[in-house]
Amino acid sequence: MQTQQSYKENDKGTLYLVPTPIGNLDDMTFRAIQTLKDVDLIACEDTRVTQKLLNHFEIDTQKTSYHEHNVNEKTRELIRDLLEGKNIAQVSDAGMPSISDPGVELVKAAIEHQIPVVPLPGPNAAVTALIASGISPQPFTFYGFLSRKKSELTEELDTLKDKEETLVFYESPYRLAKMLKSLADVFGEDRQVVLAREVTKRYEEFVRGTATEVSVWADETELKGEFVVIVSGNDNIVEETLWENWTILEHIEYKMNFEKMSSKQAIKEVAKDRGLPKREVYAEYHQ
């Protein structure tokens, strides 16, 4: 067990996690600007991208790069600096560090070394898109990027198709049409989907419809910009598996009494639901 009192005097430095705009520079918070000015060093995913932000807000703090290809050596170096008392801010190119972006290794290492990790609130594409989607915002699962390989993508979607909570994905415009086709195949044509495109930017757009409708839209549209894909949870699941703890007879009676089926129809449906031969269900009913 470990406790962290973020603002207690301490001879180590602090690791600040600073979100940056996902398109609109006005979304930079006062605290984020001040933190980037105050720290000794900014660890950036791409120093050129962050430099533009720093220029805009007249911040001249020293920078260093921290990205997926130098994580191990850079984590060690940054931890050394933090242990020596330097305050460090970590930023990614856009949005929240660590959310489908570099950062988590540094956070874990800082925690191991009892270095305070202070998160700042701020821009994030997933949650920003979610609140305007019109799809139930909780519970939700943030999934990030699905696999690029078709077979793995289908497998991943298959493990997600019965989830009852809202699902939030990131996807590149180059793979979006394919992803939506697989989604309609695996989740069913009628699943509600919202595409949130270029959120906070000039061409912000929301496309809301069934999996098939948005898939057709994606096929017919020149896809440009960045997308969040929000998918409603599976609300048929309760009905589909309700019978799991029932006897065959209870299952048939449910179909007859609540779904107003004839006994013949109910026997057929129950056999289908349970993957049993019809004669077995028939025998159980007429016992």
Residues in contact with ligand SAM by CB under 6 A are 22-23, 92, 94-96, 99-101, 124-126, 170-172, 196, 198-201, 226-228
Cα(127)–Cα(84) distance, integer angstroms: 36
For residue 278 the two structure tokens come to 């019809």
Beta pairing partners, 15: 88, 117
The string of DSSP letters for 95-113 reads B-TTSSSS-HHHHHHHHHT
* Residue placing its CB nearer to ligand SAM in the complex, 44 or 125: 125
The single-letter DSSP state of residue 29 is -
Beta pairing partners, 109: none
Please name the residue ranges forming H helices in the chain.
Answer: 30-38, 47-56, 71-83, 104-112, 125-133, 150-160, 176-187, 211-220, 237-241, 248-258, 263-274, 278-285
21-24 contacts at long range (C-beta below 8 A, 24 or more positions apart): 21/53, 21/94, 21/123, 21/200, 22/94, 22/95, 22/123, 22/124, 22/125, 22/128, 22/199, 22/200, 22/226, 23/94, 23/198, 23/199, 23/200, 23/201, 23/226, 24/200, 24/201
- State the amino acid at position 269 in one-letter form: E
Nearest approach, Cβ of residue 35 and ligand SAM (Å):
17
Nearest approach, Cβ of residue 236 and ligand SAM (Å):
28
Contact 182, 147 (CB under 8 A): no
The single-letter DSSP state of residue 20 is B
Nearest approach, Cβ of residue 45 and ligand SAM (Å):
9
Nearest approach, Cβ of residue 99 and ligand SAM (Å):
4
Nearest approach, Cβ of residue 202 and ligand SAM (Å):
11
* Residue placing its CB nearer to ligand SAM in the complex, 187 or 227: 227
* Residue placing its CB nearer to ligand SAM in the complex, 105 or 280: 105
* Residue placing its CB nearer to ligand SAM in the complex, 24 or 241: 24
Give the pairing of strands 205-210 and 117-119: unpaired
* Residue placing its CB nearer to ligand SAM in the complex, 227 or 285: 227
Nearest approach, Cβ of residue 27 and ligand SAM (Å):
10
* Residue placing its CB nearer to ligand SAM in the complex, 124 or 234: 124
* Residue placing its CB nearer to ligand SAM in the complex, 70 or 247: 70
Nearest approach, Cβ of residue 19 and ligand SAM (Å):
7
Nearest approach, Cβ of residue 240 and ligand SAM (Å):
31
The residue number with the shortest CB distance to ligand SAM is: 95
* Residue placing its CB nearer to ligand SAM in the complex, 96 or 193: 96
Q: Is the bond leading into 137 cis (omega within 30 degrees of zero)?
A: no
Q: Hey, how many other C-beta atoms are within 10 angstroms of the C-beta on 9?
A: 5
